[in-house]
Structure 1
């Protein structure tokens, strides 16, 4: 996925979840939109280099959107979590994600399940076989020395609900996939975040035991392009 023209800035602070103050190269401090509802642990350190897109929409209160960050260790991080779905769709269509090839139809945001959910990606063959794919953006590098990334970065009742929905469609005889879209160049493996959300982690393991597939792919990121490139290991249970 090609990035729109991005301009550099330095992060001053992130606050109220959706806002951040940044300093532009010439010294001006402005407020920008932060498109990430998570805790952003390790991704929002004051003084970090950030990259902003610009909108010409006159109805927007804040013209700039925070798209990328560079951690103090020099890792690139895609903080625009809503773009994870588009990255996965692009990678499927380009044949990057081999386990999700062979489907004739791809739809997004399809209503399904008993808990009023929308599946991120729905795949179907010409014979009517269905595959439900729930996408999660991973940006929390929990163990810098090993490259272990975890999800979620904050307690997520919604995340657990999505896993339960995947278990239900699996029980109905369909294919169910939890897909970790890793938008952090320092992450080389992924695990559920037991220490942050033990309920999610336990539901995750129950889903794997029930036949829900878990895939993780890492992204190559810079200020010009973000794209998924290779599969990463998934660790269901970390050693205590």
Structure 2
């Protein structure tokens, strides 16, 4: 994904709360929005070089958005909204090998009491339009059998944004996440009811060489990922190339559970 922002570079000063940060921009202190509620303690260190986008608007509370932080020689994208778009583009362009062959992609799809980031559908030409509709329900046994078969052609994808890296290994989460555990429970439920479920970690750290759940920060989440894998959920991690001009998913990296 190429950026079309008005880009500025500055120096991180402090982060008084999860939502804003103070940045030194050419000698002037500005306040910017932080599009990531994670702790980011290993990145947002006073003196760190950062990349901002400028959005002058009378309706915005801040005129700047914090997009990237430089860690040693690497830029790391912290935008937690970006991975959904990155994954969508990667699936469309068939970069993610495990998600090839689907004909329809839907975003933000409701399931049970939750919502998945993506729903992928592989249309079955042998079934009618009604049978291909996941929401169709009928008491007819033959129809219900077709519906069960159709569920195999439907994949729910939950996407997690990864920014934490140490010694080549990337980790998620960087703070305990009850919401993240709930999403995994819903994926497990979907798989047990005949759907395919994928937990996709999008690693916005170019020098990452592997991924593992952060058992130190959130052991319950780590155990939940293992349970999901054992239940049949596909657990994938894909790495991005990151520059100040663009961020793009490029390849799969090993997952250690």
Instruction: Name the TM-score class by shorter chain.
Output: over 0.9
Hey, which of these two has a bigger chunk of helix by percent? 2
Q: 1:75 aligns to what?
A: 74
Q: 1:180 aligns to what?
A: 201
Deviations 1:94-134 (A, max 9, x none): 11111111111100001102xx2110010001124100000
Is 2:47 aligned against 1:23? no
Mapping 1:48-127, distance limit 5 Å: 48-71=48-71, 73-113=72-112, 116-127=113-124
Q: 1:204 aligns to what?
A: 225
What is the deviation of 1:19?
0.5
CA distance in 2, matches of 1:130, 1:57: 41
Pick aligned residue for 1:137 from 161, 167, 189: 161
Q: 1:32 aligns to what?
A: 32
Is 2:12 aligned against 1:11? yes
Instruction: Show structure 2 runs of 5+ residues with no match.
Output: 125-131, 133-152
Q: 2:46 aligns to what?
A: 46
* SS of residue paired to 2:180: helix
CA distance in 1, matches of 2:61, 2:37: 18
Give the conservation status (yes or no) of the 8 Å contact 1:183–1:219: yes
* Bigger Rg, structure 1 or 2: 2
Deviations 1:134-172 (A, max 9, x none): 00000111x32xx11111111111111011100000001
Q: Which 4+ runs in 1 deviate beyond 2 A?
A: none
CA distance in 2, matches of 1:226, 1:201: 27
Give the conservation status (yes or no) of the 8 Å contact 2:6–2:55: no
CA distance in 2, matches of 1:91, 1:57: 32
Q: 1:169 aligns to what?
A: 190
Give the conservation status (yes or no) of the 8 Å contact 1:151–1:192: yes
What is the deviation of 1:175?
0.6
Give the conservation status (yes or no) of the 8 Å contact 1:41–1:140: no
Give the conservation status (yes or no) of the 8 Å contact 1:149–1:188: yes
TM-score, L = length of structure 2: 0.87
TM-score, L = length of structure 1: 0.93
Count, aligned residues: 229
CA distance in 2, matches of 1:204, 1:74: 31
What is the deviation of 1:210?
0.7
Is 2:234 aligned against 1:213? yes
Instruction: Show structure 1 runs of 5+ residues with no match.
Output: none
CA distance in 1, matches of 2:248, 2:188: 29
